Chain A
Amino acid sequence: MSAAAAGTTAPALDVRGLTKTYRTGLFRRTGRAALKGLDLTVHPGEILGYLGPNGSGKTTTLKILMGLVFPDSGTATILGAGLRESRWRHRVGYLPEQPYFYDYLSAGEYLDYAGRLFGMTAAARRDRAGHLLELVGLRRSAGVPLRRFSKGMMQRVGIAQALINDPELVILDEPMSGLDPIGRRLVRDIILGLKGQGKTVLFSTHILSDAEALCDRVALLRGGELVRVGDLAGILGTDVSHMEILVAGLGREAVDRLAPALRATHALGERWRLEAGEESLGKIVKGVEEAGGRVLSIQPVRRSLEDYFIKEMGERTEDGWEREG
């Protein structure tokens, strides 16, 4: 973590006691609490992953920050300015969840339009749009109307428009949504590139492997409340949870004989993946060799963010938590 991330400078984003209830019904008497007194700080230069199941309040938080919905109570400052002030908007980029852009425009025209809203000159808009289209891999589609774009291409346009003003703070709502593995890798690289340039990134995601690969810190949200915030090592710990042993040349009977020392077994064609505690490792290796098998690899396995999250969220997978590896 950088010095900035350690909190030695003013936060890039500071949220205090943010509360929001959505009112529904004819007389707006019924309400659904989306946020319950949220406190959150994002330090300059860090990547913070904002995680939580569907309906936990992630998108509501980001919409409040962008002034799209209004909080019932609480305050927030963005780059030192209050939400109602507009000066921070020149220094922030935002990608909404499942974005829709004018389909009668091409990607180049949309970026030009976005640049105009920042008061950029025509030359600066042209240069920046060209650079960003190259960055998101759409240079050759710059003149194609957006109505012909796939969901993944639209998402890339969304990321490009969020960066048109070379922002200091980038807020991305589900940036990996709709992207294929190549697109996800590209967006990961963009996010890491932003951090390399000293930018601050706050992004919400469903995909835990992305959060684990990218974030300095993560904030876990459940039911509109912050469950935990901190760096990944602090949350997950560095202890090995179990060992994974890949073996070949063993029959089912031999594996069954080893079973008392194992936590789990998985048949992989002619090979087996065995899971065991660290303390049983010697016994298992010896047992495999005695049965005429071969140990192909042994890997220590740490607790993953997914393991942590599933435990914290009480196995509420029906909420839409996505378990991608």
Chain B
Amino acid sequence: MGAGRLARVWAVAANTFRETVRERVLYNLVFFAIIMTLAGLLMGQLSIRQDEKIIKDIGLASMELFGTLIAIFIGVGLVAKEIERRSLHPLLAKPLGRDEFFLGKFAGLSFTLLVNVLVMAAGLALTLAGTGRRVDPHLLKAIYPIYLGLLLVVALALLFSTLTSSALAAVFTVGMVVAGRFSDVVRNMREVAPGAPAWLVQLLYYALPNFRNFDFKDRVAYGDPVPLAAMGTVTAYAAVYAAVVLLIGMSTFRSRELS
């Protein structure tokens, strides 16, 4: 990618980040802060090992939940709303390629989510430290895969955003996220539906994003070891899957008429 292209992608990404900040998307951090404060106060009543695990559980689960909600409900509007409001018409008449616009939107929301996750991670660490518990650096081995999973959700939301309205795109993205969380059910589908062709089950299993791959919350909260190789595997999975989804999204956006 040339310097000019990169500068344009960066301009779109920076503007997307500014949009999320001005549209008060980061206000979700206030809710997170309240949840973590309440968790810290309430857990004082429990035994030391038990409450540390519960604080970690609540912190990581909130991080994933808030991040997923932002990724879906902001992500589906990134392209669809621009098409509906026709705000991209003057932009695409400039030397801004549709691929650049699409990638800029992805990068901008990804950066918003990174800020969100980092602030929440700091909040979790503060809660642990503030209540006299150990701040465990291994938490990063749960937080990093959560962020990778969020990137995948953004890519899916953007893809659907190029195909249909923001409302329908939200429905499809939620569907994919839910199906991806229960991918084991898909793999074992033949136990409840023996007539389903094996190839179809296999195809569905591999085609759906497997969000369970990104779930290290329990292992980290319980203090079980998580090898670095596992991080490498989820990174590769997220990179390949997101790249394929983004390529399909760019291809559909390129051929979409903006009437």
A residues at B contact (CB < 8 Å): 22, 60, 63, 66-70, 86, 89-90, 92, 94-96, 98-102, 104-105, 113-114, 116-119, 158, 161-162, 165
Contacts and interface: CB of A to CB of B under 8 A. Distances in A.
Given A68-B258, A69-B257, A69-B259, A99 B95 contact: no
Contact of B85 (A60, A100, A117): A100
Nearest to B84: A100
Given A68-B92, A99-B89, A162-B90, A117 B8 contact: yes
Contact of A117 (B11, B19, B23, B258): B11
B90 A116 contact: no
Contacts of A92: 93
B201 interface: no
Contacts, number: 78
Contacts of A63: 89, 258-259
Contacts of B18: 104-105
Q: Which of A69, A86, A104, A162 is most buried by chain B, counting CB atoms within 10 A of its CB?
A: A104
Contacts of A68: 89, 92-93, 257-259
B15 interface: yes
Contacts of B22: 104
Contacts of A114: 90-91, 94
Interface of B: 4, 7-8, 11, 15, 18-19, 22-23, 85-87, 89-97, 257-259
B153 to A, nearest CB: 23
Contacts of A162: 90
A95 B8 CA distance: 20
A149 to B, nearest CB: 14
B97 A117 contact: no
B76 to A, nearest CB: 18
B94 A89 contact: yes
Contacts of A96: 86, 89-90, 93
Contacts of A113: 11, 15
Nearest to A102: B87
Contact of B15 (A86, A89, A102): A102
Contacts of B86: 96, 98-100
Contact of A66 (B8, B93, B257): B93
Given A63-B258, A113-B15, A89 B89 contact: no
Most buried by A among B11, B18, B85: B11
The list of the 10 closest CB pairs from A to B, nearest first, reads A94-B93, A116-B11, A104-B22, A96-B89, A68-B258, A66-B93, A89-B95, A117-B94, A69-B257, A100-B85
Contacts of A86: 95, 97
A60 B257 CA distance: 11
Nearest to B259: A69
Contacts of B259: 22, 60, 63, 68-69
A98 B87 CA distance: 10
Given A117-B8, A158-B90, A70 B85 contact: no
A89 B89 CA distance: 13
A185 B40 CA distance: 65
Nearest to B8: A117
B90 A94 contact: yes
Given A100-B87, A117-B8, A158-B90, 14 more contacts: A63-B259, A68-B89, A86-B95, A86-B97, A92-B93, A94-B94, A96-B93, A99-B86, A99-B90, A100-B85, A105-B18, A116-B11, A117-B96, A161-B90
Contact of A101 (B87, B93, B94): B87
Contacts of A161: 90
A94 B90 CA distance: 7
Contacts of A118: 94-95
A255 to B, nearest CB: 54
Nearest to A91: B95
B251 to A, nearest CB: 15
B19 A104 contact: yes
Among B15, B23, B90, B96, residue most surrounded by chain A Cβ atoms (within 10 Å): B90
B16 to A, nearest CB: 10
Contacts of A95: 90
A117 B89 contact: no
Contacts of B95: 86, 89-90, 117-119
B11 A69 contact: no
